[in-house]
Structure 1
């Protein structure tokens, strides 16, 4: 059995004159939960499309569990929720699930499938009457109907409220615990930070960072000190910028200890002071605007 769920070597994809993915090399091991991050046009959805065999690369290879993408999909090895996925109209949820499960030799048992995806109460509902979040849960159930070892998600929580997103990621953690490899593209970076074992950052179709979220965050130097707005002593060592937001001020500093000592010596009350490192959002923004390491 292949060691990796996904092997991508030198993947290059063009959309007309646009180079969407530029020589991408990526390995994803079985059972990993991996977030694909980057701005619009970074190549995330194109990469997902190539893994599903929906796009023909100009160069490079993609192997899914040791198979060509189309072969892996036909064998039921891959489940997918695409950003613009649709459902057939004039049908009930239970009918659609029955149809899709019937395409697999060993479908996920219905009772467990609907319990896992939170669709138990939706089986008798007309597809056209579903809310955005309910449609996403049904699409997840369809993606999992064949018990695929690899699940690809493209902006899976875009139509969900906060409660729905929390429930969705609880389901993803349960799937990962069962050994499912989960690869998802998202703009919700707090989700990636909380859920992913590893984040892969793309910019301009190229890989600019790959590793645990903490490692990617560490690529951004400095810290931020947040405190109630008021008169500040000058100069403040290490401070590279200050931003006032209502009743608070944020100080960007390259030497947090020196800045804190100066604030204390200047008589600034340290009540409600907060010190934090770079967020994943800060890191991704920095990496994708500067180009980052190749």
Structure 2
């Protein structure tokens, strides 16, 4: 079942085209990564899906709502959103902030404690938000986005400014939501994050999807049939993995001067660079 359907979506701001006709689908209970450098159209795509922008051309359907219906309360109530415009009430405590949104979305009692525990902030619930660090506020904003267990979750750089341990806890939370049926669309510059979390990704560059697929399939698609050999003295040699080199490669396993053997299996960031010629920053 498709929860997000985007067909030939275009968006222009005056004479500047931000999206030039992108198409993709996201299934129920899938984490989909929209990956690209700053200015590629990622945030514009999310803002169209959340009703902030209207498409210039094309069609968008989310959770069986067409983009013309994105202002309806039923649609808004089915979403969780973490974006650069997400905010909290600085003068209220963490608990009061989240209780406000729990009641607004009619989430069960105990939801506040549950989401705070998931991000490791259960001991901070009585702190005033203005006294929290940037990383803590980011975690509270995520709690706000997921407190009602939304059908669709839009995350724009969800783990920016977070330390590795907290990022790991956020990843665990997102995977739990995914396993419970929440559909997640996220943007990130962290390719390790995308490789771990995303069932499928799309490379968005200059308003066009350059390629898409699962992280594993894309990495295999762009790998070269090479083997990299590191010798004890630090020398690195590369050889083709071909039938002609079979005997030499078999001998590598018993060569004590070789300390590391690696095939050319590119990271997702390296694949993006191969596809676009640009670094993913």
Q: TM-score range by the shorter chain?
A: 0.7 to 0.9
Q: Partners of 1:161 and 1:224 in 2: how far apart?
A: 34
CA distance in 2, matches of 1:280, 1:133: 26
Corresponding residue number in structure 1 for 2:89: 88
CA distance in structure 1 between the aligned counterparts of 2:235 and 2:70, rounded to whole angstroms: 52
Deviation of 1:113 (Å): 3.0
Tell me the secondary structure at the aligned position of residue 38 of structure 2. coil
Q: Is the 8 A contact 2:149 2:177 kept in 1?
A: no
Q: In the aligned structure 2, how far is the partner of 1:17 from the partner of 1:250?
A: 50
Q: Deviations over 1:95-124 (max 9, x none)?
A: 111222221234573333333343322211
Q: Larger deviation: 89-98 or 155-164? A: 89-98
How many residues align structurally? 270
| Counterpart-to-counterpart distance in 2, 1:152 and 1:110 | 20
Other structure's SS at 1:160 match: coil
Is residue 10–residue 59 contact of structure 1 (8 Å, CA) maintained in 2? yes
RMSD of aligned alpha carbons: 2.5
Question: Is 2:252 aligned against 1:249?
Answer: no
CA distance in 1, matches of 2:13, 2:235: 46
Q: Is this contact kept in 2: 1:38–1:288, CA < 8 A?
A: no
Deviation (angstroms), 1:261: 5.5
Compute the TM-score of the two structures, normalised by the length of structure 2. 0.86
Q: Which of the numbers 171, 177, 181 marks the counterpart of 1:169?
A: 171
CA distance in 2, matches of 1:73, 1:154: 22
Question: CA contact under 8 A between 1:19 and 1:205: conserved in structure 2?
Answer: yes
What residue is the counterpart of 1:225 in the other structure?
Answer: 228
Counterpart-to-counterpart distance in 2, 1:143 and 1:37: 21
Residue of structure 2 equivalent to 1:240: none
- CA–CA distance in structure 1, aligned partners of residues 18 and 79 of structure 2: 23
**Structure 1: gaps (5+ residues):** 231-246
What displacement does 1:216 show?
0.9
State the alpha-carbon separation in 2 of the partners of residues 202 and 146 from structure 1. 30
Within a 5 Å distance, the mapping from 1:250-265 to structure 2 comes to: 251=238, 254-255=240-241
SS in 2 for 1:31: coil
Match of 2:212 in 1: 210
Tell me the residue number matched to 2:59: 61
State the alpha-carbon separation in 1 of the partners of residues 206 and 230 from structure 2: 37
State the partner residue of 1:17.
Answer: 15
Distance 1:268 1:141, change over 3 A: same
Structure 2 partner of 1:133: 135
Write the distance in 2 (CA, Å) between the matches of 1:17 and 1:248: 53
